[in-house]
Structure 1
Amino acid sequence: MPKGYHHLTYDQRCQIYILKARGDTSSSIANILKVHHSTISRELKRNKGQRGYRHQQAQEKAFLRKNSQPNKKMTPQIVTRIEEKIKLQWSPIQISGWLKRHGKEHVSHETIYNHIWKDKRQGGQLYRELRHRGKKYNKQRKGASGRGNMPGRIDIKQRPCIVEKKTRLGDWELDTVIGAGHKGVIVSMVERTSKLTKLAKVSHKTAEEVSQALIEQLKPIKDFVHTLTADNGKEFAYHQMVSFELEADFYFATPYHSWERGLNEHTNGLVRQYFPKTQSFLDTTSKDIERVETLLNNRPRKALNFETPLEVFTRLSTNMLCSGAQ
């Protein structure tokens, strides 16, 4: 077991929230996350709120604590030296390497980037000297989300064979539809057997907003949610939280194999009939989304022997409830 304190990521805090909610002890959580038990104990003590431990609140408290502490290495002399090099269009990596090579106080390039963006927030112009002046540096961490490299990712190959047969109710495909200019996002959910579609608008294509939309839309019918299958976009990074809240298994398609979620791709095409690629979603209202969802769910489908998705979903869900099967 690793010794000493370990800085936790947001994904790990999501796991702690889930495991704590199901009754796991601090020691068992530490074993699962492969960190020292003191890390979990300290996390639960320092970052809980009045309503107990919640992952989002814990992340915010940890962030504020970290960023409220001044970096001792960033002395006035070092700051002056760094800013001189920035104005010569040196990159933070070049500055960090130069300081180390010449025996100066070593400052990581991440710290230099943080200094630049803090200066920008305060109205400074240092960021204009960067090669990618408007684009914030994104540090790549070990184990970070990426296509095919989602933390806790379960591949579609492990999905039960019954999902392919489309003989039961409760297997959903997930995706997002992006507004023109990346202004607004529609989260789309479609049930494989009945073709029932659920739509929700979110402001940004973030894991937090997308996961909340999935939970809000599907939790009222979670008795009819067995599996969820998505692509490998980072907006599905909080899949473990969604899986926990809906009590369903979450799977990821093979990267760039869109045909593995063919129904979702087809449904997105139907959505585009009402929201073309040239349209921004900034002025799209919840009523607009509900109208399109209603139209799609009440349209007869040849694949359903010309029943509507709503008719099929209602019939199958009623049969399940009457038979006591789920």
Structure 2
Amino acid sequence: MTQLHDTTESIKGKHLTKDERAQIEILNQEGYSNRAIAKRLERAPQTINNEIKRGTVRQLTRQKQNGKTYDYYHHVYDPGFAQTRYETQRRHCGRRPKWSLANDFVDWADTQMLEDHWSPDAVIGAAKQREMFPDALIPCTTTLYTWIDRHILRTKNINLSEKLSRKTKSNKRKDRPHKRHLGPSISERPGEVDTRESFGHWEIDTVIGARHKDDAVLLTLAERQTRFEVLLKIDGKDAQPVTEAIESLVERAGDHMASLFKTITSDNGSEFSALHETLKHVTDVYFARPFASYERGTSENQHKLIRRFIPKGQSISSISDRQIQRIQRWMNDYPRKILGYQTPHERFAKAMQHTQPAQSA
């Protein structure tokens, strides 16, 4: 009897190992029954029966006798063939990853993030909201970030401006006393502005490029409910260019000014020193507390989007008015999670439709 020396411990409930298949070949050649082989390997008899059945190959033996060739076929268990077959089946077993089934979505997502500068969450939300792909092929936002980390997409983390710059901030806020009084405080602002229940409440701010006095500045106005953005390029960060831009805006709004601009909230920058006086007969203007940018959170978030196209230090004077309009159009056509993945442009149009009948009445 052949003595088998196996240092591999057989574990019940686990797949057969390469060494066990070699033992099955030896015992099978020596005439052991499947049940006897199972007992020696401490395996279930049915396991051995299935293994020998799957690993048996047809072999050809060719003999020449008296000038003639005779072919004889016989069946034998081949552990090498059985192991290769097992490894092949293991590679093809299990569920395929979702990204391998969603090539169209992956290509579209890459285009939106690389060319249109969308965030992964905006990609997922827009795909679901617009029903562009079957739900089964659209991952969640966390999964899409994981695909990016694993280099499944062409998009890299360096292409996601928000991910690299995001920092954990303390929730502790320290209010500082007013050093400048430009008009009514934000504490006097109606509660409906905070809840965003009504349309027509704006935040105004400026975005600077190169830090020299001759460079142009962007004047930004963000509607709090719809996140609709207006970008105006002005000559500098002084009260006069801001006042002139606001007066031009009032003139363009005409009879719609009262329904479009119910309130405007500003910071205490010197460029807004004449804002209250300029608009006192047109709309209500409120001023946030100093060093409290969180009170104008809409503007702060909008500025992050602007910085994707105009990084700090870049001269705004060198940027054409057409490019400013393109940035404004991109921001207003960018789907937002906070808006149910609708765009600010869509929400602004709906709000205007509800406003017009009330005005005409």
Change (3 A) 1:230 1:310: same
Structure 1 runs, 4 residues or longer, greater than 3 Å off: 323-326
Secondary structure of the residue aligned to 1:250 is strand
Question: Equivalent of 2:346, from 301, 311, 314?
Answer: 311
Tell me the distance in 1 between the aligned counterparts of 2:178 and 2:270. 8
Task: Describe the superposition over 1:70-95 as per-residue Cα deviations: whole angstroms up to 9, x where unpaired.
Answer: xxxxxxxxxxxxxxxxxxxxxxxxxx
More strand by share: 2
Is 1:216 equivalent to 2:252 in the alignment?
no
Does the CA-based 8 Å contact 1:200-1:217 persist in structure 2?
no
Tell me the distance in 2 between the aligned counterparts of 1:294 and 1:217. 18
Q: CA deviation at 1:242?
A: 3.1
Which residue is equivalent to 1:238?
274
Change (3 A) 1:325 1:248: farther
Is 1:175 equivalent to 2:211 in the alignment?
no
Tell me the distance in 2 between the aligned counterparts of 1:148 and 1:228. 21
Change (3 A) 1:157 1:272: same
Which residue is equivalent to 2:147?
none
Question: Equivalent of 1:264, from 299, 313, 324?
Answer: 299
Identify the range of structure 1 (221-230 vs 304-313) with the bigger mean alpha-carbon deviation: 221-230
Q: TM-score, normalised by structure 1?
A: 0.52
Question: Equivalent of 1:189, from 218, 221, 232?
Answer: 221
Which residue is equivalent to 2:144?
none
| Unaligned segments of structure 1, at least 5 residues | 1-145
Secondary structure of the residue aligned to 2:310 is coil
Change (3 A) 1:325 1:270: farther
Which residue is equivalent to 2:263?
227
AA in 1 matched with 2:299:
N
Q: CA deviation at 1:179?
A: 1.1
Secondary structure of the residue aligned to 2:298 is helix
Does the CA-based 8 Å contact 2:217-2:234 persist in structure 1?
yes
Q: CA deviation at 1:261?
A: 0.2
Tell me the distance in 1 between the aligned counterparts of 2:309 and 2:360. 37
Does the CA-based 8 Å contact 2:178-2:289 persist in structure 1?
no
Q: CA deviation at 1:229?
A: 0.5
| Unaligned segments of structure 2, at least 5 residues | 1-176
Tell me the distance in 2 between the aligned counterparts of 1:174 and 1:285. 21
Does the CA-based 8 Å contact 1:147-1:233 persist in structure 2?
no
Which residue is equivalent to 1:89?
none
Does the CA-based 8 Å contact 1:210-1:236 persist in structure 2?
yes
Kindly, what percent of the aligned residue pairs are identical? 32
Which residue is equivalent to 1:84?
none
Change (3 A) 1:218 1:294: farther
Q: CA deviation at 1:218?
A: 5.1
Tell me the distance in 2 between the aligned counterparts of 1:215 and 1:298. 27
Match runs of 1:95-114 below 5 Å: none
Q: What do you get for the CA RMSD once the two structures are aligned? A: 2.0
Question: Equivalent of 2:237, from 205, 222, 239?
Answer: 205
Task: Describe the superposition over 1:218-250 as per-residue Cα deviations: whole angstroms up to 9, x where unpaired.
Answer: 5515231010101100000111343136x1100
Tell me the distance in 1 between the aligned counterparts of 2:220 and 2:334. 17
Q: How many corresponding residue pairs?
A: 179
Tell me the distance in 1 between the aligned counterparts of 2:249 and 2:178. 25
Task: Describe the superposition over 1:30-64 as per-residue Cα deviations: whole angstroms up to 9, x where unpaired.
Answer: xxxxxxxxxxxxxxxxxxxxxxxxxxxxxxxxxxx
Is 1:150 equivalent to 2:181 in the alignment?
yes
Tell me the distance in 2 between the aligned counterparts of 1:163 and 1:260. 11
Tell me the distance in 2 between the aligned counterparts of 1:216 and 1:289. 17
